[in-house]
Amino acid sequence: MSANLFIENGPAAIIVASLITYCFRFGGLLLADRLPRTGPLRIFLDALPGTILVSLVVPSAVHSGWQGVVGVVACLAVYMGTRRLLLTMFSGVLTVYLLRLVS
């Protein structure tokens, strides 16, 4: 029974992958504690959230084709107008769905 639940090396792979992931999460936080509170390095760290997020979003949007780019513009407009995340998500998905339907 238990042999069927995991493939060979499966548990080891999951544990190693999980340890790596956890070390990044916790290690990043511990590292930041030892960094200065002012100066260029601080500015670098404060800029990270924004730059990570756009680096995450833009390539995926571009991958969704022109419909995705239009969808992002629609999302930005809805979010600026309403500040509602759920509404933004649905309007984005609906926009891309309709655009894919007609194209």
Partner 1 sequence: MSESKSIRNTTISTSMYRGAVANIPLAVSAVTYGGVLGVLSAQKGVTWAEMSAMNVLMFAGSAQFVMVDMWQEPLSVLAVAMAVFIVNLRYLLIGASLQPVFAGHSLWRKALFMHLVADENWAVTITEHRKNGTNPYFLFGGGLLLLCAWSCGTLGGNLLGSFISQPEKYALDFAFVAVFAALSLSLWRGRGDALPWASAIVLALVSEKFLPGKWYIVIGGVGGALVAGAIEYLRLKKR
Minimum distance of partner 1 from residue 38's CB (angstroms): 10
Q: Report H helices in the chain.
A: 2-5, 10-33, 40-63, 65-82, 85-102
> For residues 16-45, which are near partner 1 according to CB under 8 A?
16-18, 20-22, 24-33, 35, 39-41, 43-45
Residue 81 touching partner 1 (CB under 8 A): no
> For residues 53-72, which are near partner 1 according to CB under 8 A?
53-62, 64, 68, 71-72
Residue 100 touching partner 1 (CB under 8 A): yes
Minimum distance of partner 1 from residue 20's CB (angstroms): 5
**Buried b vs exposed e over 4-41: b needs ≥16 C-beta within 10 Å?**
eeeeeeeeeeeeeeeeeeeeeeeeeeeeeeeeeeeeee
Position among 9, 36, 102, 103 found at the interface with partner 1 (CB under 8 A) = 9
Alpha-carbon distance of 69 to 3, in angstroms, equals: 47
